[in-house]
Structure 1
């Protein structure tokens, strides 16, 4: 035996009356605003990641080039001076990106970092950077 009320369930409910209520409309706008904000956040995060990858792909060669320029002029490649030139050369780059790139270069053996015998401002340690002599 089939249920005679099976297809009439909810038929007495007025769909448009529920959809046009202010509470439903406010809830719908809040959901749309949250989805739009999340979409904008994801786009901005993707753009920041692309920018970071672009800087990091150019950071290593830029640092090596700056160090070679200093050594070509018979001047020590002091890390603070290299950092300043790096930030000028790559607009939008940050000191953190410089430090990360320098650490990667040091770990991979492309650059050697030696503590300078002279101290910087207020006893700050300064480092001299030297490229790997086997890389030419």
Structure 2
């Protein structure tokens, strides 16, 4: 007999080998019964719900994985948050002669923290920059 709203549900099949009555259901079947109450009846909607839940797993996984990666990096490389001071010895001596105005200007252009200058005084009292005496 068909109802006005759709197909009639069939009763569950009888077991081939009836067993004695159990006092309680196993825990897993009780959990599945509770979950089935909240799921939609349509197979298509169940599939869409399953795909939606599965699509949330990778972002959550990589979020926690990335947090762990950042913690490990901070432990190994603590200086990243507080970097060391960069001091140019004699200016940028790789691109210009050391202790020259060009080397000092190039070092300032490359945004170093400080420039170390070797200053000496001549016998007549004049200051000059020279690496070795």
TM-score, scaled relative to structure 1 = 0.34
Which has more helix, going by share of residues? 1
* Bigger-Rg structure (1/2): 2
| Higher RCO structure (Cα 8 Å, ≥6 apart) | 1
TM-score, scaled relative to structure 2 = 0.35
